[in-house]
Amino acid sequence: MAGVTEVQETTSEPPLGVEGKPAQVKWSRSVFYNATILGLCSFAAPGLWGAMNSLGAGGGQSPYLVNTGNALTFCLMVISCWLTSGIVRYIGIKGALFIGTIGYAPYSAGLYLNNRYGVEWLVIVGAAFCGISAGVFWAAEAAIAIAYPEPHNRGRMVAYWLTWTRIGQILGGAVNLGLNVDRNQAGKVSYTVYIIFIALQASGTLVALLLNRPSQVQRPNGTPVQLTIFDNPWQEIKATTKTFLTKKFLFIVIWIGQGVYAEAVFFTYNALWFSVRARALGSFLSGIVAVICGNLLGLWLDQHHIPLRRRSRSAFAVIMTLQGAWWLWLAINVTEFRRTQPIFDWSDPGFGRAFGVFVFLVLGFQLNYNFSYFIIDQISSGPQETIRLAALLRGTQSAWQAVSYGLNAIPIIASVGGPYINFGLWGVSIIPAWLVIKDFGASDGKDDVENRVEDQAEELRKD
């Protein structure tokens, strides 16, 4: 490609042994180690961000200010995601991950001051800091999660990494439940929760320094991690834009939207219609359910003895069918709640019907998230495009979430409009996404794209 140079990193790691396998894989250089470090960063940064939002309104009494701040965060993330591949040229993937963790603690500090003293300006400023850094973090972590694992373990490693994000939500819910277990009315959570979160988020910046560079990673099969670095960031930005305009990516844009638009919808639902302790319980239980089912999906997608065509189509069918059922359930609930204006506690009649759909929607969000990385991996033609597609995926997710949080700052959208819009997005997204997924494993009996890439890498290594 004209104007582009691939930078090869040198390493002092042990040489490859017989049949391309390392003589010994150090745990501190292993894929699992790096997936754990990436997971810990995700736990400290977006995981605890999600923990606060899973409490509804960032733990506040009213969702509107926090939804406005989150809309700003995701607007800025669209830009920073788009620029990430160029940024990596100068600071590397490890540096990008480090920089990406910095903005989360100021966001939490803004929520703390608003919760305790009613200060509003730092919520917006903190959201801006978070948006600038988080876009870099999102794109970098996605590229690492897809590129570092061996292809046949990629589904499980992606699920393992995303598990840490949900552990943040589970821990946040558990802490908040313990502090607010006697609060059976609407309101805001204890400000002590924010102090704990700020300290944990600040630690994520130091954890990022423990990640290995791509050249240092040792896979059990001896194949190298291939992450390409480009000389000219402007050429990379143009290449990323060109990738966005491909048919396969454009066809999944609405599908990506229906999956992530949901976050603002169900977190706002949690804030509007439940007591403080019920919100904390929802954060805790939904995180556990999402972790279990997300890992089961990853396990299914890694069953390479089952044809790719069957794995991809069945996963898509199950996810979309369940998602449609849950949106119908939520639409019925919010239509009724807008008329009756209830506040549900776990001791109230009707709590199960109101609460259950929240848990299932968080589960659906996790399944859509996991499956989106599988799709990106399948439509990618190589390591360079994987980096671009990862940035585009996270940038597109950010754009949809900016719209979602922005609209859910409007009371009528927050109460009933959000679920209706998301239900419509679900319906519109099915056919375009199917036109992409139906081709996985369907052409000339070819094996998985990721296995072909691994074979090519093995040939290059032997040469």
**Residue 267's pLDDT is what?**
87
Contact between 280 and 352 (Cβ < 8 Å) = no
Best CA proximity match to 134, nearest among 106, 162, 109, 102: 102
Residue 379's nearest CA partner among 287, 463, 448 is 448
- Given this model, what pLDDT does residue 36 score? 94
- Which tokens hold the place of 26? 């150090």
Residue whose entry in the numeric block shows the structure tokens 């040198």: 10
The pLDDT assigned to 185 comes to 56
Q: Residue 343, exposed/middle/buried by CB under 10 A (0-12, 13-18, 19+)? A: middle
Query: For 318-331, how does the pLDDT look when each residue is reduced to its tens digit (9 = 90+)?
Result: 999 999 999 999 99
How far apart (Å, rounded) are the C-alpha atoms in residues 276 and 432? 40
Residue appearing with tokens 């044809």: 307
**Rg (the chain; Cα; Å):** 22
Site of tokens 């745990």: 27
pLDDT < 70 stretches in the chain? 1-23, 53-63, 183-190, 228-231, 443-463
Predicted pLDDT at 412:
93
pLDDT score at 463: 46
d(CA 355, CA 167): 20
- Judged on CB neighbours under 10 Å (0-12, 13-18, 19+), 398 is buried
pLDDT tens-digit readout, 161-204: 888 988 877 887 787 778 777 765 555 556 777 788 888 888 98
- Using alpha carbons, select from 243, 247, 227, 245 the residue that is nearest to residue 235: 243
According to the model, what pLDDT value does residue 200 have?
A: 87
Do the beta carbons of residue 212 and residue 34 sit within 8 Å? yes
Host H or E run for residue 157 = helix 154-180
Question: Is the separation of the CB atoms in 243 and 388 below 8 Å?
Answer: yes
Alpha-helix residue ranges (DSSP H) falling in 302-417: 308-340, 351-379, 383-407, 411-412
Q: What is the DSSP letter of 341?
A: -
Helix (H) or strand (E) holding 245: none
Output b/e per residue, 75-87; b: 16+ Cβ within 10 A.
bbbbebbbbbbbb
